[in-house]
Amino acid sequence: MTSKELACLEELMATEAAVYEKFNLYARQAGESAVRKLCEQLADRSREHLTALMGLMEQTDTSVH
């Protein structure tokens, strides 16, 4: 993995982590149950994306080219 690819992957992980936190916050603050449920679903999807990105990090060689 090149250093540029690694930097992009790290940026994607940071973005997904931020999206996850925001949707969790929105879910806690939502007044309507339908809005709360949607925010929870979107938070879950972001967590899945973050988990997948972390899996990619683990699969790659630890050396950077």
- The CA distance from 25 to 57, in Å, is 27
Q: Where are the domains of the chain?
A: 3-59
The helix/strand count (H/E) of the chain reads as: 2, 0
- The CA distance from 3 to 17, in Å, is 21
pLDDT tens, per residue, the chain with 65 residues: 788 988 999 999 999 999 999 999 999 999 999 999 999 999 999 999 999 998 888 877 555 55
pTM score, whole prediction: 0.80
DSSP assignments along 15-59, one per residue: HHHHHHHHHHHHHHH-SSHHHHHHHHHHHHHHHHHHHHHHHHHHH
